[in-house]
């Protein structure tokens, strides 16, 4: 008796396949039923996987059902339109052929003339699958190569994070209306604000008229794209077991790399949040002088008088906060002055290192938002939108326009490069100091510190200071002495920027006329720079520079005793080592002239 030929028809189509080659399910079924009729196969069932890829067999429910029916003896032929409808994997094909042989079942594919009932047929099937697998891998490699190239040229896939948008070529660029919000998130975080606190601030100000959550702020802080990098497989990496791939410097950064990295270090401090009834000015900043661990905050006292201490439980060392602050005043004035001068005077010099957005792009965005504003006004007047929706949309647009207007104003100010040469800025700083109370000291900034609320003091310290170490010493007021201060990368980066332009100056102790004096010594300047610097004083009587006529001082052996032959009313503002006008002074003699800038102006 002839064996019955019972067929299971398998049809499959993915969206891509149908769009590319028109393999509709209906057409496949019709042709395969005609094939079964011609070969006298009895059709047991049609198994249909719609919109499913052939990458593997495991995730195709109807295919798995068909294999079960094969194992149960319900079918002994599998009929498909093409081999790639069944599988595109060499490994899966080998497994399938093994299963077919085990259960005396055969595979027949109409378009590929496949029939595994013969040895030649099984060999031919394997060859077809190898070629199909090769095609998949080649296409995959081309796709990956194309994607990598696109990413490296700034075309980031997926939805753009806040602060970025697509240009006309789909390239990821900075969105001038929202990038300042991202910068502010990072600034607030560096000041010691937690994710939740930042979210509350933004909700209170109704920023972008959206609901801000701490989890969203956390995602911003953790997103590498804001320093210019893009992380592939970040979202699905853990689920799929994929190692993340980092593409560095593929988009314009919104925050400098050192700021992003500083925020990652700040996490440890910010995450130690507790419910506190007191504000600790030096929270998480005081190190034990013995073991080096961060000292804990302690509060004592009643309603009338309270004391705050920093305590090391291991070494039983403690310092009162009021004493710490008195000792800290020795340096806080200089830090505040530096911060003030950097923001007011020096920042324009580093405009190229800030977010780079063309003035024309800002103007285009303003025009676009203005038109959008007119459209929603007309929609409201025409009663197309409700009043509440109109108010929300209008506020969001006005907020963005306000951000853009400030950026445009800043751009117009910075475009006047003549006002922001290093020499002019340095002279402007020194002129301010000449007319400052008590000359160049920091008493005004100490007054500012005294008037600050404790919350603001804590934020300033969190921004610039990594740690402070004090020790007990009876020779100092209140019996403590600051022995070590570690500044954050943010502060050091600003100092490095100034040093690159010759704007930094350091206090140096000299012996003059048998007396110890502390004088500010600037970084070495070229002769031409000194001339430009002194031009700024031409309308200010009483400021002049004394220059030794020859290059007879050495950087390696600078004297610590200098005789200053000055007039009675002359006061030294600073010393300037002056080098020759050569692009690379390291290639010539290490000698310099010494310029002594003096003033006879009486300070206010």
Name the residues annotated as catalytic.
14
Helices 214-222 and 257-270 pack at an angle, to 10 degrees, of 140
Q: Which three-class secondary structure string do you get for 125-190?
A: HHHHHHHHHHHHHHHHHHHHHHHHHHHHCCCCCCCCCCCEEECCCCCEEECCCCHHHHHHHHHHHH
Among 520, 512, 526, residue whose Cα is nearest residue 575: 520
Asked if 399 and 208 count as a contact pair (C-beta separation under 8 A), the reply is: yes
Distance CA 160, CA 589 (A): 54
Asked if 32 and 79 count as a contact pair (C-beta separation under 8 A), the reply is: yes
Torsion-angle region of 489 (φ positive above 0: left; ψ -120 to 50: alpha; else: beta): alpha
What does the angle CA 386 – CA 389 – CA 393 come to, to the nearest 5 degrees?
135
**464 Cβ contact partners less than 8 Å away, ≥ 6 residues apart:** 335, 339, 487, 488, 490, 491
Across 442-491, the runs of DSSP E, i.e. the strands, are 465-472, 480-487
Asked if 22 and 91 count as a contact pair (C-beta separation under 8 A), the reply is: no
Distance CA 466, CA 266 (A): 9
Among 28, 72, 74, residue whose Cα is nearest residue 50: 28
| Start-to-end C-alpha separation, the chain | 121
Distance CA 12, CA 5 (A): 22
Among 150, 149, 6, residue whose Cα is nearest residue 72: 6
Distance CA 516, CA 506 (A): 16
Asked if 162 and 220 count as a contact pair (C-beta separation under 8 A), the reply is: yes
| Residue 562 CA: distances (Å) to CA of 402, 558, 579 | 55, 10, 19
**Strands 591-599 and 553-554, bridge-based pairing:** antiparallel
Helices 61-71 and 90-102 pack at an angle, to 10 degrees, of 30
Distance CA 571, CA 508 (A): 16
Distance CA 523, CA 505 (A): 6
| Residue 383 CA: distances (Å) to CA of 32, 371, 380, 386, 393 | 59, 19, 5, 7, 15
């Amino acid at each position: 008796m002839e064996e019955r030929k019972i067929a299971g028809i398998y049809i499959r189509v993915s969206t891509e396949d149908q769009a590319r080659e028109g393999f509709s399910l209906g057409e496949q079924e019709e042709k395969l039923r005609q094939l079964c009729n011609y070969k006298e196969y009895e059709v047991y069932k049609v198994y249909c996987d719609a919109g499913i890829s052939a990458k593997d067999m495991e995730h195709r429910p109807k295919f798995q059902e068909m294999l079960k029916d094969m194992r149960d003896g319900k079918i002994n032929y599998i009929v498909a339109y093409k081999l790639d409808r069944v599988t595109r994997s060499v490994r899966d094909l080998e497994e399938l052929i093994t299963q077919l042989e085990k259960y005396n079942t055969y595979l027949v594919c109409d378009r590929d003339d496949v029939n595994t009932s013969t040895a030649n047929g099984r060999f031919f099937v394997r060859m077809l699958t190898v070629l199909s697998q090769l095609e998949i891998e080649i296409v995959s490699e081309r796709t990956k190569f194309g994607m990598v190239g696109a990413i490296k040229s700034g075309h980031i896939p997926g939805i753009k994070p806040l602060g970025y948008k697509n240009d006309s070529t789909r390239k990821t660029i900075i969105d001038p209306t929202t990038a300042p919000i991202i910068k502010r998130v990072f600034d607030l975080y560096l000041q010691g604000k937690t994710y939740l606190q930042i979210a509350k601030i933004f909700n209170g100000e109704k920023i972008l008229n959206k609901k801000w959550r701490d989890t969203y702020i956390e995602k911003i802080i953790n997103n590498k794209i804001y320093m210019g990098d893009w992380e592939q497989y970040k979202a699905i990496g853990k689920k799929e077991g994929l190692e993340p791939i980092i593409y560095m410097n593929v988009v314009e950064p919104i925050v400098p790399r050192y700021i992003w990295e500083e925020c990652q270090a700040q996490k440890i401090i910010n995450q130690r949040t507790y419910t506190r009834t007191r504000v600790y000015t030096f929270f998480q900043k005081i190190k034990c002088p013995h073991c080096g661990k961060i000292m804990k905050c302690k509060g004592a006292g009643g309603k009338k008088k309270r004391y705050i201490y920093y305590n090391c439980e291991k070494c039983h060392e403690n310092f009162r906060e009021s004493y710490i602050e008195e000792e800290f005043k020795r340096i806080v004035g200089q830090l505040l002055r530096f911060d003030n001068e950097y923001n007011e005077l020096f920042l324009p010099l580093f405009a190229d290192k800030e977010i780079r957005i063309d003035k024309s792009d800002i103007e285009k965005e303003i025009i676009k938002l203005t038109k959008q504003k007119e459209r929603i006004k007309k929609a409201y007047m025409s009663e197309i939108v409700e009043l509440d929706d109109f108010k929300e949309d209008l506020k969001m647009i006005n907020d963005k326009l306000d951000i853009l207007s400030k950026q445009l104003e800043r751009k117009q100010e910075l475009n006047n490069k003549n006002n922001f040469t290093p020499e002019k800025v340095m002279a402007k700083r020194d002129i301010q100091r000449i007319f400052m109370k008590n000359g160049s000291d920091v008493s005004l900034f100490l007054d500012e510190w005294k008037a600050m609320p404790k919350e603001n003091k804590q934020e300033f310290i969190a921004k610039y200071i990594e740690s402070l170490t004090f020790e007990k010493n009876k020779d100092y007021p209140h019996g403590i002495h600051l022995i070590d201060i570690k500044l954050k990368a943010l502060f050091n980066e600003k100092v490095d920027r100034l040093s690159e332009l010759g704007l930094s100056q350091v206090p140096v102790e000299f012996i003059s006329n048998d007396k110890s004096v502390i004088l500010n010594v600037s970084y070495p300047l070229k002769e031409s720079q000194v001339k430009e610097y002194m031009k700024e004083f031409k309308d200010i009587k009483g400021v002049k520079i004394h220059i030794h006529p020859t290059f007879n001082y050495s950087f390696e052996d600078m004297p610590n005793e200098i005789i200053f032959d000055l007039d009675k009313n002359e006061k030294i503002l600073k010393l300037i080592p002056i080098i020759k006008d050569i692009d690379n002074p390291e290639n010539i003699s290490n000698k310099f002239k010494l310029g002594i800038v003096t003033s006879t102006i009486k300070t206010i």
